[in-house]
């Protein structure tokens, strides 16, 4: 299944930040705070195939605000990685295709080939964040939001996201024939 129509509707990270009403400063700080070491930069520069990353998310979501800057930093290092964001609120029907346990999760990160066909995906938050924030122990929505905002200020959580995204990016490159 090709997601070309959704890719064409999606916007760049820069345009997303310009249009965002919430969490803009958080996203800018995360982008600037994330240090990519030389080994990670070399891995990003070594990507052999064009990989298109489509993020379904919204500026209101702390998981999107915490993870989108990581993807943007990766794309800024690799000329083969292309990033666009599709507003989840304006594209609910499309977002419904990616439910997890019957719920819409945000963000959904799709790694696509040049025909905009899915190679692999990632949803919501890094594994380390799931360990630290359990919805059952923090039932209030406001409490979860506060915890997430605090969580994405932790450099280790950003590193966890980076590691997970690098693994998927490398997997996508191998699927496309990396040698």
Residue 132 predicted with pLDDT over 80: no
CA dihedral 160, 151, 53, 7 (to 10 degrees): 170
Residue in the block written with tokens 């799931």:
130
Residue 142 predicted with pLDDT over 90: no
Residue 130 predicted with pLDDT over 90: no
Mean pLDDT computed over every residue of the chain? 91
Please give the pLDDT value at position 22.
95
Residue 97 predicted with pLDDT over 90: yes
- CATH no. for 4-175: 3.40.30.10
Residue 136 predicted with pLDDT over 80: no
Angle of helix 24-33 versus helix 62-77 axis, rounded to 10: 40
- In terms of C-beta density within 10 A (0-12 exposed, 13-18 middle, 19 or more buried), how is residue 94 classed? middle
Measured CA to CA in angstroms, residue 74 lies from 53, 115, 122 at distances of 11, 21, 15
Please give the pLDDT value at position 131.
66
Residue 137 predicted with pLDDT over 80: no
Please give the pLDDT value at position 88.
97
Please give the pLDDT value at position 129.
75
Residue 27 predicted with pLDDT over 70: yes
pLDDT digits (tens, 9 = 90+) for 59-68: 999 999 999 9
Please give the pLDDT value at position 153.
81
| 108 in Cβ contact with 98 (< 8 Å) | yes
Q: The tokens of 75 are what? A: 């794309």
Residue 149 predicted with pLDDT over 90: no
The band of 56, judged by pLDDT with boundaries at 50, 70 and 90, is very high
Domain spans of the chain? 4-175
């Amino acid at each position: 299944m090709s997601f070309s129509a959704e890719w064409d509707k999606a916007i760049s990270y820069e345009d997303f930040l310009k249009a965002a009403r919430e969490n803009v400063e958080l996203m800018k700080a995360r982008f600037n705070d994330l240090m990519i070491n030389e080994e990670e930069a070399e891995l990003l520069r070594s990507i052999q195939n064009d990989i298109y990353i489509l993020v379904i998310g919204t500026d209101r979501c702390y998981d999107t605000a915490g993870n989108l800057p990581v993807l943007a930093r990766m794309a800024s290092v690799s000329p083969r990685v292309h990033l666009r964001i599709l507003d989840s609120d304006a594209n609910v029907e499309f977002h419904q295709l990616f439910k997890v346990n019957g719920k819409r999760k945000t963000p959904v990160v799709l790694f696509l080939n040049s025909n905009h066909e899915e190679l692999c995906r990632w949803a919501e938050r890094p594994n380390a964040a799931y360990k630290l924030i359990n919805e059952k122990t923090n039932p209030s929505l406001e409490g979860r939001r506060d915890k997430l905002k605090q969580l994405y200020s932790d450099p280790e959580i950003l590193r966890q996201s980076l590691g997970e995204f690098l693994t998927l990016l490398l997997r996508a490159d191998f699927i496309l024939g990396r040698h």
